Amino acid sequence: MTNEFSWQPDPASGITMQWIEANGQTLELATAGSGNKLALCLHGFPELNFSWRHQMPMLADMGYRVWAPNMRGYGRSSKPHGIASYALDQLCADVAALIDASGAENVTLIAHDWGAIVAWHFAIKKLRPLTRLIIMNVPHPNCGRRELRHWHQLKKSWYIFFFQLPWFPEWMLGRNGATPIKRAFSNMAVDKSRFPDADLQIYAGAANRPGALRAMINYYRALLRTKDGRNIGNAMVDIPTLMIWGEEDTALDIRCTDGTEQWVPNFELHRLPNVSHWVQQEAPERVNAIMRKWLD
């Protein structure tokens, strides 16, 4: 395994990079802080652990050991073959293996986008004990299913069905050095100044790696083609849960947050106006302040 990484953190941030073995995969891991309290941060599509660069120093300052992996298929992490390799059960098993490897007794799971899909299922299935759960811009599975029955959400979810096509989505997103990946951030963002080209190039460069786009899109293919996401029992989450939601999300309607308390009794929602789907990158000061107060 090469010692190169797709993201070289500023030494002043306190973030370092390493490799870790988890569930048979070799994952790139950004780390900060130390101690027995683990904050495990799961990124989304088409992101990387780089998306947590604003939160990791704050969490470390609060006394957490912070781990942010590049999930399987992303960056220089392993890219197993086949759609079934990206089923939710496999993704949740990666999270369980990371928690086991950490040896931490107190675990807060923090997740955005696809990472939050995994986090919801991990918490529902109680695969490992969690102390707290922080979700950003992804609904509880039952709320998401409910909203998909309505046109206001179905029309926003068109890309999930587009991603079911063979090879064509990879070709589309990989054109011109994966320029469409960069546009996914800049076009959706409200405050586009938060996404300078140097940052966007990190995402595009990672997506351009051999096999990366196929792996990233296979998350969506597996979501519709396996039963993992439907086997969630009563779907209850019985740990304290914080949801932070950028209201100008063009992929997920704000009505997806309605009724979450039915399945998450200990629930707190913070809606951020004039903020897009990329909430923790576009509004890091507000997100960090909410997280710090809630975790304290």
Kindly list the structural domains of the chain, giving each domain's residue range(s) and its CATH number in brackets, ordered by start: 11-295 (3.40.50.1820)
Give the per-residue pLDDT at 3. 42
* Helix, strand, coil percentages for the chain (3-state, nearest 5): 45, 15, 35
270 noted as active-site residue = no
pLDDT reading at 230 higher than 80: no
Q: What is the pLDDT of residues 77-104, one digit of tens each?
A: 999 999 999 999 999 999 999 999 999 9
- CA-CA distance, 262 to 292, in Å (whole number)? 25
Active-site residue, from 64, 74, 94, 113: 113
Whether 48 has a pLDDT exceeding 70, the answer reads yes
Residue 43 has pLDDT above 70, yes or no: yes
Q: Which is catalytic among the residues 43, 112, 121, 277?
A: 277
pTM, rounded to two decimals: 0.97
Residue 4 confidence (pLDDT) above 80: no
pLDDT band at 233 (very low <50, low <70, confident <90, very high): confident
Tell me what pLDDT residue 5 has.
58
pLDDT score recorded for residue 2: 42
Residue of 43, 64, 220, 253 with catalytic role: 220
> d(Cα 77, Cα 150) in Å, to the nearest integer?
37
Distance CA 186, CA 198 (A): 12
- CA–CA gap between residue 42 and residue 64 (Å, rounded): 15
pLDDT for position 251: 97
Distance CA 249, CA 44 (A): 14
* Cα(270)–Cα(207) distance, integer angstroms: 31
Mean pLDDT for 60-76 is 98
Sheet of 25-32, strand order: 16-22, 25-32, 65-69, 37-42, 106-112, 132-136, 241-246, 267-272
Nearest Cα to Cα of residue 187 among 251, 132, 128, 233:
251
pLDDT digits (tens, 9 = 90+) for 167-215: 999 999 999 999 999 999 999 999 999 999 999 999 999 999 999 999 9
Write out pLDDT tens, residues 120-142: 999 999 999 999 999 999 999 99
20 three-state secondary structure: strand
Question: Token pair for residue 160?
Answer: 């999930």
Q: Assess whether 277 carries a catalytic annotation.
A: yes
